[in-house]
Chain A
Amino acid sequence: DAKTTQPNSMESNEEEPVHLPCNHSTISGTDYIHWYRQLPSQGPEYVIHGLTSNVNNRMASLAIAEDRKSSTLILHRATLRDAAVYYCILQRGPNAGNMLTFGGGTRLMVKP
């Protein structure tokens, strides 16, 4: 399985932007890059996903490197409620059942 590498933890100040990096050097051409986050005592929730182009939605932005071997999740203005574990996941293509394989994620701590 294609794997992702993320820092174990990161810290941010409230109301400042946060850039969460992810390396996925073995990504294949049909793999989508997904980000999920998991708040304490809850199940994971979808944040954003992309294939090649940068993506924006109401929660975050996803910047994908031109060679697709890395990506960055951008929270434009961190709030205390953004404190969670953020998972960068490669979703395999249709031949692999479009499965999500979670890694260890990055624990984001937000300081007031």
Chain B
Amino acid sequence: EAGVVQSPRYKIIEKKQPVAFWCNPISGHNTLYWYLQNLGQGPELLIRYENEEAVDDSQLPKDRFSAERLKGVDSTLKIQPAELGDSAVYLCASSEGQGARNEQFFGPGTRLTVL
């Protein structure tokens, strides 16, 4: 069974440029998460989707970050414009639901470097 797929794996851009990350969750998983992970720290939740609805986006910096999950499957996270401090790994995860027994499956992440 294929895991969570993310692309690109690496992205280098100059500050003020836009960037987008793509995530394909495990088939059948209704819940999708985007996390940000800074070097040496644990992942921090940015947004959570239940199907196509964003049910928790309180940690998403909405002035420059946006996300969508059309048709409740794939998702895209966008930053426009990127800042130096956005350099981090962006992780996508999915789960069958949001219950306590539902483990989250993570993709390999996209490592963003903003110059």
Contact = CB atoms under 8 A, between A and B. Distances in A.
Interface of A: 32, 34, 36, 41-46, 49, 51, 87, 91, 93-94, 97-105
B106 A44 contact: yes
Q: Say what secondary structure dominates the interface of chain A.
A: loop
Contacts of A43: 4, 91, 93, 106-109
Q: Say what secondary structure dominates the interface of chain B.
A: loop
Given A44-B43, A104-B42, A93 B100 contact: yes
B108 A46 contact: no
Contacts of A46: 103-105
10 contacts: A43-B4, A44-B106, A46-B104, A46-B105, A51-B100, A93-B100, A94-B100, A97-B98, A98-B102, A102-B42
B14 interface: no
Contacts of A44: 43, 91, 93, 104, 106
A99 B100 CA distance: 9
A105 B100 contact: no
Contacts of A94: 99-100
Contacts of B93: 43-44
B62 to A, nearest CB: 19
B48 interface: yes
A102 B44 contact: yes
Nearest to B31: A98
B70 interface: no
A98 B42 CA distance: 18
- Give the interface centre of B4, B44, B104 by most chain A CB atoms within 10 Å: B104
> 4 shortest A-B CB distances, which residue pairs?
A43-B106, A102-B42, A46-B103, A32-B100
A100 B104 contact: yes
A44 B107 CA distance: 8
Nearest to A92: B100
Contacts of A36: 104
